[in-house]
């Protein structure tokens, strides 16, 4: 079946370095992509989104890149901080799909 997946289950990064989290998706009909951050004991928190008619979108310290040719999504976090330690999920849906399909998640650990 169609699914959204992350390339690596874990990522360890030095504080202050940039982080890159990758996600591959297989549903070519996906129109909308979201990155969520989930800290222990909390629900997923919206970070940034991007629509299929865009290649790049920037937020505060975060950038999402979308490559529709290879069905790849990435989240870049600049100057990673200890508070960025969490599990990061990519999710996607299609227009009028009314549901999100999530990848397995990448656990990011920031080293001091």
Partner 1 sequence: KAGVTQTPRYLIKTRGQQVTLSCSPISGHRSVSWYQQTPGQGLQFLFEYFSETQRNKGNFPGRFSGRQFSNSRSEMNVSTLELGDSALYLCASSSSVGGVETQYFGPGTRLLVL
Q: Is 58 in the site for partner 1 (CB under 8 A)?
A: no
- Distance CA(30)–CA(108), nearest Å, equals 26
Beta carbon nearer to partner 1, 84 or 92:
92
Residue 46: exposed, middle, or buried by beta-carbon count in 10 A (0-12, 13-18, 19+)? exposed
Do 75 and 64 meet the contact criterion of CB atoms below 8 Å apart? yes
Beta carbon nearer to partner 1, 83 or 99:
99
* Residues 73-112 interacting with partner 1 (rule: CB under 8 A): 89, 91, 93-105
Shortest distance (Å) from residue 79 CB to partner 1: 25
């Amino acid at each position: 079946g169609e699914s959204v997946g992350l390339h690596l289950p874990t990522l360890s990064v030095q504080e202050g370095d940039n982080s890159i989290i990758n996600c591959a998706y297989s549903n070519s009909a996906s129109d909308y992509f979201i990155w969520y951050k989930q800290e222990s004991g909390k629900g997923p928190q919206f970070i940034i989104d991007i629509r299929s008619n865009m290649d790049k979108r920037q937020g505060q310290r975060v950038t999402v890149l979308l490559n529709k040719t290879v069905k790849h999504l990435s989240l870049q976090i600049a100057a990673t901080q200890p508070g960025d330690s969490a599990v990061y999920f990519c999710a996607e849906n299609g227009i009028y799909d009314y549901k999100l399909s999530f990848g397995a998640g990448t656990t990011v650990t920031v080293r001091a």
